[in-house]
Amino acid sequence: MTCHTLTRNLRTRAASMLGASLLAVAAIGVSGVTLGSAVYAQDTPDEGRQFDAKSGEAVNNAQTMANAGDNLGAVNALKAALNLPDLNAYERSTMYQMLGQYSYQLDRPVEAQQFFESAISAGGLLPNEVGNIRVVIAQLMIGNGQYREGATRLENYLNSGGQQKPQYIDLLVNAWVQAEDYNRALPWAEKWFNAARPKERKHFDLLNFLYNNLGMQGRQADIVKEMIGRWPEDKTLWDAWASMLANGGREQEAFEVTKMLYLGGALNDEQDLLKVVQYYSFYDMPYQAAEILEREMNANRISRTPEKLKQLSGLFRQAREYKRAIPILEAAASQSGDAKLYADLGEALYNEGSCQKSEAAFTEAINRGYDAGKSWMLIANCRYDRTNDLDRLNCEMTDAQMAEAPITKARESAVAAFNKVPSNSRERSNAAKWVQFINAEKQAVDRRCEFERNVERELCYQKIKQAYDAEIFTGGFKLDDANCTKFKADYDAEFRVKITEDE
């Protein structure tokens, strides 16, 4: 069993279990609603665990919406109902439970988790109801990739007297494995293994995986021996067994065997070591594959050729470890002179935000025959990305200041790069759209500033006119707003000259 297999199965397992748990919570929290009005009241309502007419009607309306498939409407109705005055703790807890259920149906797991937390905090639940919701919250967290937090909550529930259902233990073990806390996974895995009737391959695979990762070679040997006894076709030597599995199309099991052989120090041949790397890569574990390849190259057990360096850098890039990929790419490109490797180096540097180095690498790639359109697009994007860290233009700046502003220079530099995308390139259309977008950004600033200046000028013209009209009373021209002084000459040229000519 691999981490990849666990990841793939864990979300499916958590989602399936969560659906059943939500139904159980809904049954406890909603179908048992007791309303305080004469119309809805049950014969013997529990003290404090009832709804009044208004809140009960709101809950029923929300249920009706949800049953009709309108979960969003149900959520909005319940949120509004929470604002009703004098809600008791039971009413709030029930509403929050329903909100959690419907939010989950809307594929909002984080929001659902928060509502279930609020259901507990509201204080209107019985102990067994709180326990059920704690399981739901744990499942939500595990299904959402919060493996350690979800596993801790589920484990606390089980350790505090909660029902130790096999499916809970299964989910808990897998969550701890995904959190890579194998020590905490092991006792639950052994409990799961010992209780299994009948024992399946997955039970053996999981213990084998954990013993291997915890370095418990004695126990691992015991479990492997028992596996061989149960599956006669696997009772050959480790390397022969791995070959048999691979030739029989059981690649994943072959990978497990090969991995054990490697970790046990049984593989030394370059071809076998490369097979280990290939297995990790095939099963979507590029980081582990890169670590092994780099370690074996450093140990001189795998040759350090340009092809192997290219493979190593590719694995680190798949794992988004760009910083580790860069020096390897530099060495590979320098050794081989390959245009594609220089382009890969440029892309890795681009992802690290090293625009100047990225541009140099892309330029080298272009000079060696690589696609100029693709290269210039990434160079241009890198230049434009710099604008996100620069001060914006503002309308207090003069035209000269705007023209010399760093953000203007960065935009111009990006436009120049986009314009270098060849006309026959498939990237040309996208480049033209980028140029249009960048120009539109500047035009939007110009229009806004022009509008602001026009508004200011018109207001000042009114104040200047009022000052002229009041001269007879004020004994001369007196402009109260000093900021308008800059517009007086324009006003006089446009209006006062005409008055003088008429006179």
299/295 Cα distance (integer angstroms): 6
Considering 176-180, 310-314, 385-389, the range whose residues carry the highest mean pLDDT is 176-180
Report the pLDDT value the prediction gives residue 407, as an integer from 0 to 100.
Answer: 87
pLDDT in tens, 463-485: 888 888 888 787 788 888 888 88
Place of tokens 């954990």: 210
* Residue 78 · residue 105 · CB < 8 Å: no
42 falls within a domain? yes
Report the pLDDT value the prediction gives residue 473, as an integer from 0 to 100.
Answer: 80
pLDDT in tens, 394-451: 877 888 888 888 888 989 998 998 999 998 988 899 999 999 998 888 888 888 887 7
498/495 Cα distance (integer angstroms): 6
For 60-116, the DSSP string reads HHHHHHHHTT-HHHHHHHHHHHTTSTT--HHHHHHHHHHHHHHHHHTT-HHHHHHHH
344 falls within a domain? no
pLDDT in tens, 293-304: 999 999 999 998
278 falls within a domain? no
Last residue of a domain, one of 145, 165, 189: 145
Report the pLDDT value the prediction gives residue 140, as an integer from 0 to 100.
Answer: 92
Share of the chain above pLDDT 90, in %: 30
**In this structure, what token pair is assigned to residue 445?**
């600033």
Place of tokens 């013993």: 211
H-run or E-run covering 200? none
Beta-carbon count within 10 A of 95 CB: 29
258/242 Cα distance (integer angstroms): 6
- Give the CA distances from residue 225 to residues 1, 88, 200, 218, 229, in Å, rounded to whole numbers and listed in that order: 16, 61, 15, 11, 6
Report the pLDDT value the prediction gives residue 248, as an integer from 0 to 100.
Answer: 54
Report the pLDDT value the prediction gives residue 150, as an integer from 0 to 100.
Answer: 94
* Residue 124 · residue 94 · CB < 8 Å: yes
Average per-residue pLDDT for the chain: 81
pLDDT category of residue 458 using cuts at 50, 70 and 90: confident
State pTM to two decimals.
0.43
Last residue of a domain, one of 122, 145, 168: 145
* Residue 377 · residue 430 · CB < 8 Å: yes
Q: Is 305 helix (H, G, I), strand (E, B) or coil?
A: coil
β-bridge partners, 51:
35
Last residue of a domain, one of 113, 145, 177: 145
Q: What's the rounded mean pLDDT across residues 315-326?
A: 85
Work out how many domains the chain is built from and give that number.
2
Residue 345: which of 299, 306, 304, 383 has the closest Cα?
Answer: 306
- Domain containing residue 25: CATH number: 1.25.40
Per residue, the 3-state secondary structure of 179-197, as one string, reads CCCHHHHHHHHHHHHHHCC
11 falls within a domain? yes
137 falls within a domain? yes
149/145 Cα distance (integer angstroms): 9
Q: Which range (16-25, 36-45, 223-232, 272-281) has the least confidence?
A: 36-45
φ/ψ (deg, to 5) at 160: -95, 15
Is the pLDDT at 9 greater than 70, yes or no? Answer: no
55 falls within a domain? yes
Verify cis geometry, omega within 30 degrees of 0, for the bond prior to 306.
no
Report the pLDDT value the prediction gives residue 327, as an integer from 0 to 100.
Answer: 87
Residue 175: which of 1, 7, 2, 5 has the closest Cα?
Answer: 7
- Could you list the residue range(s) of the whole structural domain that residue 41 is in? 1-145
φ/ψ (deg, to 5) at 68: -85, 5
421 falls within a domain? yes
Q: Which range (252-266, 334-348, 410-424) has the least confidence?
A: 252-266
β-bridge partners, 35:
51
228 falls within a domain? no
